[in-house]
Amino acid sequence: MGHYSLFSLLKNALTGNRHWTPAWRFPEPKARYDTVIVGGGGHGLSTAYYLAKEHGITNVAVVEKGYLGSGNVGRNTTIIRSNYLMPANTHFYEHSLKLWEGLEQDINYNAMVSQRGVLNLCHSDGQRDAYARRGNAMRLAGVDAELLDREQVRAMVPGLNMDNARFPIKGGLLQRRGGTVRHDAVAWGYARAADRRGVDLLQNTEVIGIRVEGGRVRGVETTRGFIAANRVGLACAGNTSRVAAMAGLRLPIESHVLQAFVSEGVKPMIDTVVTFGAGHFYVSQSDKGGLVFGGDIDGYNSYAQRGGMPIVRHVMEEALQLFPAMSRLRYLRQWGGIMDMSMDGSPIIDRTPIDGLFLNGGWCYGGFKATPASGWCFAHTIATGEPHRLNAGFRLDRFGTGRLVDEKGAGAQPNLH
């Protein structure tokens, strides 16, 4: 498999593009691996990559029931940031942002990492105080943050409805290093990089059982037969609770639908990521010109990758509150993904009570930006048997001990996070 470079681009362009090789292999499953990762989304693929790169563990299979990237990694609204208040989150997501910053060189893949900034709007004096506090906490942790006043916001995003809205805009918290990344390229890039280090990517292979004997994991039953492994890592996002139940585990996770929307392409009108502070709405503009946006989860448990009309209406209302000009656009595409909503809104990266079985889940609707750090920390946890200090706050037992990581202070309900 060739190295992508300007030289390979020119060579292939001059020879009719007939010599590109497949980005990864399509191997037959082996009878045994050192480690099996269940789920070929962003987190499963990055875990496999960092297992090979950071820990030299290359006898690894990623078992994916559909095709690589068919889950949330290819369905999200592509926002990355590390603008968190709570220390467990701040340091973890900042590590992720730093990995994003060097990712394309590391995996030799153009993932279109675009640090165009993430601007959280505030609509009341109290909210501005809360943003100042969060911004100060970020700066104390070495993360960039700027508090903008109304005029700075107006100058930065001219299309905003500053004055005549139900919730007038009072300012905003800006993280310039935040931005967007092309979502499915992340899956493809990690897949190719993991494959190059010897990881087997087993697509169209569903895990239908987890074999546990004497309190120890022995491997996974799949639609292509049993695969033995001493270590199994679950990275199944919206299906996490169902797959964990195969090993007899009941998790503090509920599955909900989140929808995304894309408009027709227009000339550049929003060159950053903007989020609404009086509701739940976020928008950016893709390189093709479409406005990419979303809002709240649908609010009922579901495993369907589609959503209902009430949220479509709700999200459109929020869009028009902020950007009245969006009423002139046609909306071309809409889809849903299954969110693994944890009860405190923060993820789990940990061992489980079953020896050799590891868990990565509870990403809610913020797991895309975590993809590099999640894989990096999960690989560390699987390789060493212990969480890294960066994921030490994301233990499974926190729901029993009460050491919750509730960023919003919202309480134990998925639709509040």
Ligand X SMILES: Cc1cc2nc3c(=O)[nH]c(=O)nc-3n(C[C@H](O)[C@H](O)[C@H](O)COP(=O)(O)OP(=O)(O)OC[C@H]3O[C@@H](n4cnc5c(N)ncnc54)[C@H](O)[C@@H]3O)c2cc1C
Residue 79 binds ligand X (CB under 6 A): yes
Using CA atoms, how far apart are residues 284 and 275, in angstroms rounded to an integer?
9
Question: What DSSP character marks residue 142?
Answer: T
Residues 233-252 that bind ligand X (CB under 6 A): 235-239, 243
Shortest Cβ distance from residue 370 to ligand X (Å)?
6
Q: Which of 30, 33, 35 is nearest to 385 (CA)?
A: 35
Residues 312-351 that bind ligand X (CB under 6 A): 337
Residue 258 binds ligand X (CB under 6 A): yes
Inter-helix orientation angle 42-55/183-196, to 10°: 30
Residue 396 binds ligand X (CB under 6 A): no
Shortest Cβ distance from residue 236 to ligand X (Å)?
4
**Between 347 and 387, CB nearer to ligand X:** 347
Residues 354-373 that bind ligand X (CB under 6 A): 363, 365-369
Using CA atoms, how far apart are residues 333 and 120, in angstroms rounded to an integer?
25
Using CA atoms, how far apart are residues 383 and 390, in angstroms rounded to an integer?
15
Residue 59, Cβ neighbours under 10 Å: how many?
15
Residue 41 binds ligand X (CB under 6 A): yes
Shortest Cβ distance from residue 74 to ligand X (Å)?
7
Record the tokens describing residue 270, joined without a space: 């929003």
Residue 249, Cβ neighbours under 10 Å: how many?
19
Which of 49, 51, 53, 65 lies at the binding interface for ligand X (CB under 6 A)? 65
Residue 40 binds ligand X (CB under 6 A): yes
Residue 118 binds ligand X (CB under 6 A): no
Residue 72 binds ligand X (CB under 6 A): yes
Using CA atoms, how far apart are residues 222 and 204, in angstroms rounded to an integer?
10
**Between 63 and 170, CB nearer to ligand X:** 63
**Between 76 and 321, CB nearer to ligand X:** 76
**Between 61 and 122, CB nearer to ligand X:** 61
Residues 191-210 that bind ligand X (CB under 6 A): 206-207
For residues 94, 96, 100, 103, the Cα torsion angle rounded to the nearest 10 degrees is 130
Count, residues near ligand X per rule CB under 6 A:
39
Q: Which of 153, 114, 120 is nearest to 369 (CA)?
A: 114
Residues 280-299 that bind ligand X (CB under 6 A): 294
Q: Which of 256, 226, 258, 219 is nearest to 241 (CA)?
A: 256
Shortest Cβ distance from residue 191 to ligand X (Å)?
11
Contacting range for ligand X; rule: CB under 6 A; set: 19-27, 77-85, 155-163, 348-356: 77-85
Shortest Cβ distance from residue 202 to ligand X (Å)?
9
**Between 78 and 114, CB nearer to ligand X:** 78
Backbone angles phi, psi at 314, to 5 degrees: -60, -45
Q: Which of 22, 107, 25, 29 is nearest to 63 (CA)?
A: 29
Contact between 26 and 205 (Cβ < 8 Å): no
Which of 76, 120, 263, 272 lies at the binding interface for ligand X (CB under 6 A)? 76
**Between 134 and 369, CB nearer to ligand X:** 369
Using CA atoms, how far apart are residues 102 and 48, in angstroms rounded to an integer?
18
Residue 260 binds ligand X (CB under 6 A): yes
Inter-helix orientation angle 371-384/87-107, to 10°: 100
Q: Residue number with the shortest CB distance to ligand X?
A: 41
Contacting range for ligand X; rule: CB under 6 A; set: 33-41, 142-150, 325-333, 350-358: 33-41
CA–CA–CA angle 335, 337, 343 (5° rounding): 140
**Between 170 and 191, CB nearer to ligand X:** 191
Which of 71, 172, 178, 233 lies at the binding interface for ligand X (CB under 6 A)? 71
Record the tokens describing residue 74, joined without a space: 């290819």
Contacting range for ligand X; rule: CB under 6 A; set: 13-21, 29-37, 126-134, 230-238: 230-238
Q: Is the dihedral of CA 224, 47, 235, 195 positive or negative?
A: negative
Alpha carbon distances (Å) from 282 to 85, 273, 315: 19, 7, 9
Which of 24, 33, 37, 44 lies at the binding interface for ligand X (CB under 6 A)? 44
List residues binding ligand X (CB under 6 A): 38-44, 63-66, 70-73, 75-79, 206-207, 235-239, 243, 258-260, 294, 337, 363, 365-369
